[in-house]
Copies of this chain bind each other. A is one copy, B any other.
Amino acid sequence: MRLLDQQTAEGILFTDEYQLTMAQFYYRMGVHEQPAQFDHFFRHYPNYGLHQAGYCINAGLEWLIDWMQEAHFQDKDLDYLRSQTTRTGKRLFQEDFLGWLKANGNFKAISLDAIPEGRVVHPQVPLTSVRGPLAMAQILESPLLNFLNYQTLIATKAARIKNISRSNLLLEFGMRRGQSTGANAGARAAMIGGADFTSNAGISHVLGYPPKGTHAHSMVQLFIALGLGELEAFRAFSEIYPDDCVLLVDTVNTLESGLPNAIRVFEELRRKGHEPVGVRLDSGDLAYLAVQTARMLDEAGFSKTSITLSNELDEMVIWQIRTQIQAEAPRYGVDPDRLLSRLVYGVGTHLITSEGCPALDGVYKLVAVQKDDTWKPALKISETPGKTPNPGHKKVWRLYDKRGKAVVDLLGLAGEEPGKAAILKLHHPVELNVCQVMNNSEIAEIETLQVPVLDQGRLVYRMPGLEEIRSRQVADLDRLDEGVKRLVNPHIYHVSLTENLWQLKQELITAATHFTSEPEAIQV
């Protein structure tokens, strides 16, 4: 795509057409500037088929805010809307509405509260709440979901992979399998969730981290094609990068050629006063090859040289590899724990695509609208009970028990103070008769999750650096029960409604259902 076209396609028109037709409709009805609140939340944790997430890691906010601060209707965008026609060939968008968009088609009147990036988050909980003039809050739906859904999905996947990789280095390698330049968002999200570095050079630059990587098979192939061999390739490479020498040993044959050649070059390096960094295995039975590699490196005196594994890894494959090494290493006289501690994981495709669950089901729902200076809660009654969103202005608290562990995310009405009640009634967000009672004495800490980010378009939040976001992720996961972090069939974390919010929701459902059964009775 040419640069000018890219600016058009990634500017304010980076939204769905129906947001624009609805915005004009609201304009025509005179409600386009009516204050409205939309909540963004997801309904389900990612389910990868045979394994499932028990938590998500929130991500994407900074890039959304950056976009909101730039995006606005420019003349070229308005010209495009001017050119759109109805089925009968008339203009679809009228000049008065376009005039309004020219003056007001930006996000300067929008206020936004959000749960910060890097935090552990759960379904049904509003991650982002948007308040502002109806028309622009509506147009924001598609880009907001686009920016937040994907990064949260990938930060979550990265956290799962990091969880099983333990203290080992985790590298994000997926650029070539991402969705076009969306791969940059994937790399950032992976680093929020737990990847230590990415191979993607440009995004590393932007994020202020060194990118990782050494060489590909093609380097060795080149030498062979020129009539030389793998040994010469390794030797030459080690001379250019004596202190950063990671050799990919599977171009010809891992155990019979790559590894013996690498060891020979490592010995030469060491004689010259350099310490080799490691080898990379990119094909074959990685667990078996890692054991043999460790054995051969140990025997040659390179017991600390790292072993990077890559090739279709994900959390389950890494788990299997670690398990297999635990069982198999002793048979070859290799200490499994020492071997595990020297592994580095390079994860590409399965991380950047969230293989098994390539989309998060985040939605953006109208929850309240102002009429005559009073906020009216709004509800969409769904035929699937779980799809009925929670109405009105809400607040979200996280409750910690005496162990310091998070035990429930509680949704209530804005004015409530759950800390003041002696006994808390915690309603299941979907099931009617499921209710839990908690004594205030069991609660060690109550934390408000959302923070103000935009106040009428003005940034009122200090955007944290990536390192701070990552620390938050580590701290939050630390305060989560192990059962919730389990890779397969995790324990379900509680998300509850306060008594007041639950009552409001029931009343609205009753009222709306009443509407439904007597549609003819409505008076306008």
Contact = CB atoms under 8 A, between A and B. Distances in A.
Interface of A: 1-3, 5, 8-11, 13-22, 24-26, 28-29, 31, 36, 38, 62-63, 66, 70, 80, 84-88, 90, 92, 134, 138, 141-142, 145-147, 149-151, 173, 175-186, 199-206, 210-222, 224-232, 236-237, 240-241, 243-244, 250-254, 256-257, 260-261, 277, 283-284, 349, 352-355, 358-362, 365-366, 368-369, 371, 376-384, 387, 512, 515-517, 519, 522, 524
Nearest to A237: B25
Nearest to A253: B516
B1 A66 contact: yes
A254 B8 contact: no
A26 to B, nearest CB: 8
A231 B256 CA distance: 76
Given A9-B184, A221-B365, A221-B379, 13 more contacts: A8-B206, A21-B214, A25-B215, A138-B216, A141-B176, A218-B378, A225-B379, A227-B371, A231-B519, A231-B522, A256-B516, A284-B383, A355-B358
B18 A215 contact: yes
Contact of A252 (B36, B204, B387, B512): B512
Nearest to A60: B180
Contacts of A359: 177, 349, 353, 355
Contact of A257 (B62, B369, B516): B516
B354 A28 contact: no
**This chain's copy number in the assembly:** 2
A178 B24 contact: no
B366 A221 contact: yes
B184 A1 contact: yes
A211 B17 contact: yes
24 contacts: A8-B202, A8-B205, A9-B181, A10-B184, A14-B202, A17-B213, A21-B215, A22-B216, A25-B241, A87-B243, A146-B175, A146-B178, A146-B180, A149-B176, A149-B177, A177-B359, A179-B180, A180-B182, A218-B378, A218-B380, A220-B380, A250-B383, A253-B383, A257-B519
A217 B236 CA distance: 63
A465 to B, nearest CB: 14
5 smallest A-B Cβ distances: which pairs? A182-B182, A179-B182, A18-B213, A13-B202, A225-B378
Contacts of A387: 283
A224 B149 CA distance: 28
Contacts of A134: 222
A9 B202 contact: yes
Contacts of A22: 215-216, 218-219
A73 to B, nearest CB: 11
A366 B222 contact: yes
